[in-house]
Structure 1
Amino acid sequence: MIRRASAYGCKEDLPIKQTALFNRHQQSGASWIEQYGWQVPAYFSKPEDEAARVRESVGLADLSWMLKFDVKGYGLKNTLALGEGAFSWVLGPLHALVTCNPSRRREVMDRFQGLQTAGADLSLPPPIYVTEVTSAYAQFLLAGPRCRQVLRKLTSLNLSEASLPDLACGQSSLAHVHAIILRHDLNGIPAYQLLVSREYGESVWESVLHAGYEFHLEPFGLQAHQLLKA
């Protein structure tokens, strides 16, 4: 449980959310930290060592706590302008996935509200429909020079630089489960964000670790992730 101030100034107990990988991380010896209301691994070993392994080979992190919004509607005919730190990924005609750090929630929601109301014709449907899907997906970060070699064992999606460059996305089967694959490099380090339905999170996590065994793939925590982004 986490203690937070309510709107009336008193304290109330609110549960900390747990990702689909909580039990798996617990078994792996994770040290925990609260991140925007989620219980996430701070580290599994020394953060500096975890970051070094990612830079040299490959690592896997649980980013399920990141904000995710499913956006649909004719308003997507134009590019979504959501500001720095929020990313709009095209999933299909008039369909996008928006991801961002939870610290940007209010700003992103305000922008959604503006898009829904600016110049809207009340006789027409809203320009966009927005559904938060943060808890619906397990979201993993596979990063490092070897990440493409690991991913190729699990999906038939064309991962070449020409087909899936930085900030591009695709949808494909991943370890026999439908997945959204986002290419989002970390300061020049090749990286992919993998989104699957929460119910398949643990099995896909295990499949990715198994595929990366020859490269000594291990999980890394929030502190190493912050070092890699710095």
Structure 2
Amino acid sequence: MSTQSPLHSVHSGLGASFTDFAGWSMPLRYTSELAEHKAVREAAGLFDLSHMAEIEITGPGAAAALDHALVGNLSGVKPGRARYTMLCQEDGGVLDDLVVYRLADEQYMVVANAGNAAVAVRELTARAEGFDAEVTDRSLELALIAVQGPASVRIVGAVTDADLDSLKYYASVPATVQGHDVLLARTGYTGEDGFELYVPGAEAPDVWRLLTKAGEQHDLLPAGLACRDTLRLEAGMPLYGNELSAELTPFEAGLGRVVKFEKEADFVGRAALERRRDAGATRTLVGLRAEGRRAPRHGYSVLAGDEVVGEVTSGALSPTLGYPVAMAYVPPAHSEPGTELSVDIRGKHLPVEVVALPFYKR
């Protein structure tokens, strides 16, 4: 039985189509994923992301515990700020990519992918042993609502007195939405400006309705997971299970910058990641552009001539750009923008060109 979001009845009332995602019943689309995608790029979309995991780490040793557990320098994050980072295993493979919010000197919130929630809780708990810190899974207590798109400032600004002008990207602040206490963060996964609101589950339907009402004059649409995937693909953002896995390190994904070797603390995976950094990657993540309407998909082979040299991780016909785009892992020798390759689509070779990521930037 799939876990239902606190907003499930709201989505049902809106006629949503549901999908099972990492054990959660979540909206895939409401009407048209193309219309929802376009709304986020041109106006705003309203997302339920309550399947994401929220894990709280508190105590005098919280910062030190996270510096040990994760590849980032979390003790260097100021209260009210957030950091994108990764949970790696000893061999450097990525167990999950995370956003970590520092809420106070001795309080952090780690947001993990739904499919990796149990792993993240288990590993953070184990890695916090020996530190004066407590790890608590808050996932079922909180709902997560996102407003993404150019009109998001006007919509969120209409329901809260928080100073949005001073709220920087990857910052958060406690706020109220017409009497409802929320954590308001300027974060997202669409390539657009936007906000994510962490809300007590029981209050989520009211907050959703208030945002919907405020968005009526700004062409806000409820948006499902289908368009969220094409939005993040256009923005060149990795998805765990596609661009990231336990068999890959941050360096292959072009995200070596998140590994902070300069921090004083030793951390899980440091030695292996140092070796990978020094040896250089044998494959690297690239963008691919094609013509026509047929899009490369996850798992399709990438060829140089008749030789298979890589594999597509994500692909779609870009609603914004109007042509097929994909991300793929290929050897460094085939990774330069302008390199001509092909993708095997059911036995036919589709010509593609390597291009720089992201495909879309606002």
Instruction: State which drifts further: 186-195 or 54-63.
Output: 186-195
Counterpart amino acid of residue 53 in structure 1? A
- Select 1:130's aligned residue among 129, 135, 145: 135
- Partner amino acid for 2:135? V
Check the 8 A contact 2:15/2:30 in 1, yes or no: yes
Of 196, 201, 204, 1:198 maps to 201
Q: Write the mapping of 1:89-128 to structure 2, written as runs, cut at 5 A.
A: 89-117=101-129, 120=130, 126-128=131-133
Of 58, 62, 65, the match for 2:51? 65
Q: 1:198 is aligned with what amino acid?
A: G
**1:28–1:44 contact (8 Å) kept in structure 2:** yes
Give the match for residue 53 of structure 1.
39
Report the counterpart of residue 41 of structure 1 in structure 2.
27
3-state SS of paired residue (1:145): coil
Give 3-state SS (helix, strand or coil) of 1:74's partner. coil
The letter of the residue matching 1:140 is I
Amino acid of the structure 2 residue aligned with 1:96: Y
Alignment of 1:2-21 (within 5 A): 15-21=1-7
**71 and 190 in structure 1: CA distance in 2 versus 1, 3 angstrom threshold:** same
> Residue deviations 1:169-199, cap 9 Å, x none?
1111112110001211435300211111111
Q: For residue 157 of structure 1, report the CA deviation from its aligned partner.
A: 1.2
SS in 1 for 2:196: strand
Q: Quote the offset at 1:112 in angstroms.
A: 1.2
Aligned twin of 1:10:
none
Contact 1:43 1:223 in 2 (8 A): yes
Given the alignment of the two structures, is residue 218 of structure 1 paired with residue 221 of structure 2, yes or no? Answer: yes
Percent identity between matched residues is 23
- Are the equivalent residues in 2 in contact too, given 1:115–1:127 (CA < 8 A)? no
Q: What's the CA shift string for 1:54-109, capped at 9, x where partnerless?
A: 10000101001111112101222345426162111011120111102123335523
- Which one has more relative contact order, counting CA pairs under 8 Å at least 6 apart? 1
- Structure with bigger helix share is 1
Flag as ranges the 4+ runs of structure 1 deviating above 4 A. Answer: none
Structure 2 residue corresponding to 1:24, chosen from 10, 19, 31: 10
**2:184 corresponds to which of 170, 181, 186:** 181
Answer whether contact 1:154 1:208 (CA < 8 A) is retained: yes
Q: Give, in whole Å, the separation in 2 of the partners of 1:55 and 1:142.
A: 12
**Distance between the aligned counterparts of 2:52 and 2:63, measured in 1?**
26
How many aligned residue pairs are there? 207
Candidates 152, 155, 159, aligned match of 1:150: 155
CA distance in 2, matches of 1:99, 1:34: 20
2:147–2:195 CA contact under 8 A, matched in 1: yes
Question: For 1:219 and 1:62, how far apart are their aligned partners in 2?
Answer: 9
d(CA) in 2 for partners of 1:93, 1:75: 10
Of 168-177 and 54-63, the range deviating more from structure 2: 168-177
If the length of structure 2 is used for normalisation, what is the TM-score?
0.54
Counterparts in 2 of 1:75-94, with a 5 A limit? 75-78=61-64, 80=67, 81=70, 83=86, 85-94=97-106
TM-score, structure 1 normalization? 0.84
CA distance in 2, matches of 1:144, 1:52: 10
Q: Runs of 5+ in structure 1 lacking a partner?
A: 1-14, 121-125
- Structure 2: segments with no counterpart, 5+ residues: 71-84, 87-95, 234-362
SS in structure 1 at match of 2:27: strand
Deviations 1:137-174 (A, max 9, x none): 111110000101111111111111xx322211111111
Asked whether the equivalents of residues 148 and 190 of structure 2 are also in contact (C-alpha less than 8 Å), the reply is no
Relative to structure 1, is the Cα distance of residues 229 and 130 closer, same or farther in structure 2, using a 3 angstrom cutoff? same
Deviations 1:114-156 (A, max 9, x none): 4323xx2xxxxx4221111111111111000010111111111
